[in-house]
Each structure stands twice: as C-alpha cells, then as structure tokens.
Amino acid sequence: MRMRERRKNQTAREKFRQTQELSVKDLIMPVFVKEGISGKKEIRSMPGIYQFSLKEAVKEATRIYKTGIPSIILFGIPLARHKDAIGSGAYDQAGILPQAIRAIKKVVPKLNLIADVCMCEYTSHGHCGIVKGGDVDNISTIKILAQIALLYAQAGADMVAPSAMMDGQVKAIKDGLVRNNYSKVKIMAYSVKYSSGFYGPFRDAAESSPQFGDRRTYQMDYHNSDEAILESKLDIKEGADIIMVKPALGYQDIIYKTKKELKFPVACYSVSGEYAMIKAASLKGYLDEKKIVLEALTGFKRAGADFIITYYAAEAVKKWMKNKK
C-alpha cells in the first residue's frame, strides 16, 4: 500500500475524497434583529457580526439569500424595558421577531426562515423560562414556548427551533402547531445542547446573560455523551424534524455518534465562541482564516452533520467557497 499515491496531486486527492466538498446548501446563517435601533451595531466580541434594525435585517436576509445560502436562523432582541420576569415580549404579535419574520418573508419568500424559540432574550432575569423557587419551571415554560412557536408560525416562519432545553418542549410545540393547522411548519430541535462557555459572545449579541446562577439545571453536562442519544430520541418521538448538536467544535464525537446511531437529519451549531476564537486569532494574524474555517466546517460535515449553523456562513460563501451551487 502506497498511501501517498492518494495524495500525490490535486486530482488524486479529489478522487480519493470521502466527504463531499462543503456546499453552500449545507449552511445556515444566524441573524440578530434588535428592536429600536437604526442601522446596524457590531457585536463587541464577534467582529463582523451585527445586531440589525428591522429594516437592515430585511436587507441582510436578501443579501444572504443572493449568496445561495438557503436558510437563516433569526434571533430577536427586545428593548431592555420590554423585558419582564415572564418574558411576555416573546409572545407579543407586535414583538420584534414576528415583525421581522413578516417583513423578511414578504421580500424574500423563498429564503427558509428558522425562528429560534426561547425566552432568555425576553426575560429580565435572562433565564430560558419562567423562574419559580430559584429555578426554571418546566410545565409553565413549555406552555409559553408552544405559544411563542405558534406565533412565529403564524408570522410566516418555515421552521421553529426550540432552544430552551425544557423537557417536553418539542411535544408541546408540535401539539400547538398541529392543533392550529400549522403542521407544515417544521421543528429543528436543539436536542443536544450542552451548558457551555462557548456561548459567551452570543450573550453579548442577544443580551441574554442569566442575571443569577447559570443554565446547568437545563442544559446538558459536557461530561455526558450517551445522554445525547436519549435527548435526541425523545425529541424525535415528540415530533422533531431535525435534531441539533451544539456546540460543534469540541463536540464532533457527539455529532458523529448521533448521526451514526440515529440516522436522522442532524444539524450542528458552531457557536459564537467558536466564531470569536477564529476571528480574533485571524485578526491578530495568528491563523490563516480561510484555511481554518473551511477545515472546521468540513470537519463538521465529515462528523455527520447534514446542516451547519455558522456565523461564518455568509463570509465563507462570499470569499472562500468554490462550489457555490
């Protein structure tokens, strides 16, 4: 066996390639929409990523659609004075996210629009649900998550993505959608979401840091991997169309295992901290950004991800990817 024969030139390397080359169709781009601003505001810990006003978000969605990226995942950030203990801004028809969904759908109806369903951006305490006795209460929270998802479906979302890590949230949402004749709206479940330090910059972006404690009573403990299968199986049973693993870098064993054992559509979310690390090192000239980004994203695909949510989606497609179709 002469292994180097397979690597001797580009033709040989392409011939022996196992994972298909990264495609624009694999990618999902996150977009932050902020209430009450004009223009756009760069996120301190994520250079190149912005909070957009409603108007700018529509323009951004249009630009993303033109690159060939098929999907965006939308996060809404209300004004601080619209936050309260029960996150009522999250299920307000006139809230920032329903408005953004309607506006984007009107201009780029073919862009697959995924709405993140959570309460942390809308609660004054920053937790992902209703707090009772110092912890997030499951039953009252999933009822509200179901209302939020229905509202986003009614506004025109193609898919909802519950990220609160409450037990039974997928079933509650699915039942609500079916009962109201929105069963065509798909669910991408954050099934395997670890409690992670890699979400740090996102909390700057979404203004959603918990004001006390942390999320370890609902997000997963990163010492566990069998639990990824259990969480995914529960969500599939409850009606998820796609399961998601998050974070991605450092969790490729989890992506691999989930795909291998369940043979179900798997997304991975390359989170804010992953973006921030690569971006910061690239800006300092410590890393070759193009090489690192393509290597990391291809790695997720090789691990088994069918969809990759990444803050690098738009930049990678515009600057570095060859096969844009």
- What is the smallest separation between the CB atom of 199 and ligand PBG, expressed in angstroms? 4
- What is the smallest separation between the CB atom of 255 and ligand PBG, expressed in angstroms? 16
Token readout for 51 is 């909070």
- What is the smallest separation between the CB atom of 260 and ligand PBG, expressed in angstroms? 25
Q: 246 an active-site residue?
A: yes
Catalytic pick among 105, 246, 257, 301: 246
Residue with Cβ nearer ligand PBG (16 or 29): 29
Place of tokens 């010492």: 223
CA distance 315 to 308: 14
Contacts 24+ apart (CB under 8 A), 313-318: 313/27, 313/28, 313/29, 313/64, 313/69, 314/29, 314/63, 314/64, 314/67, 314/69, 315/48, 316/22, 316/27, 317/24, 317/27, 317/67, 317/68, 317/69, 318/67
How many other C-beta atoms are found inside a 10 Å radius of the C-beta of residue 141?
27
Residue with Cβ nearer ligand PBG (82 or 193): 193
Residue with Cβ nearer ligand PBG (202 or 307): 202
> Nearest to residue 317, comparing CAs of 10, 71, 39, 42?
71
Catalytic pick among 193, 257, 259, 279: 193
CA distance 199 to 269: 11
For 318, the 3-state DSSP assignment is helix
Classify strands 266-270 and 242-246 as parallel, antiparallel or unpaired: parallel
Residue with Cβ nearer ligand PBG (65 or 202): 202
Place of tokens 């009573």: 217
Enclosing H/E stretch for 227: helix 226-238
Residue with Cβ nearer ligand PBG (10 or 188): 188
Q: 66 an active-site residue?
A: no
CA distance 3 to 53: 53
- What is the smallest separation between the CB atom of 1 and ligand PBG, expressed in angstroms? 43
Contact 273, 197 (CB under 8 A): yes
Residue with Cβ nearer ligand PBG (214 or 288): 214
Residues that bind ligand PBG (CB under 6 A): 116, 118, 120, 128, 163, 199, 202-203, 215, 271-272
Q: Report the first-to-last Cα separation within the chain, whole angstroms.
A: 36
Token readout for 77 is 């950030």
* Active site members: 193, 246
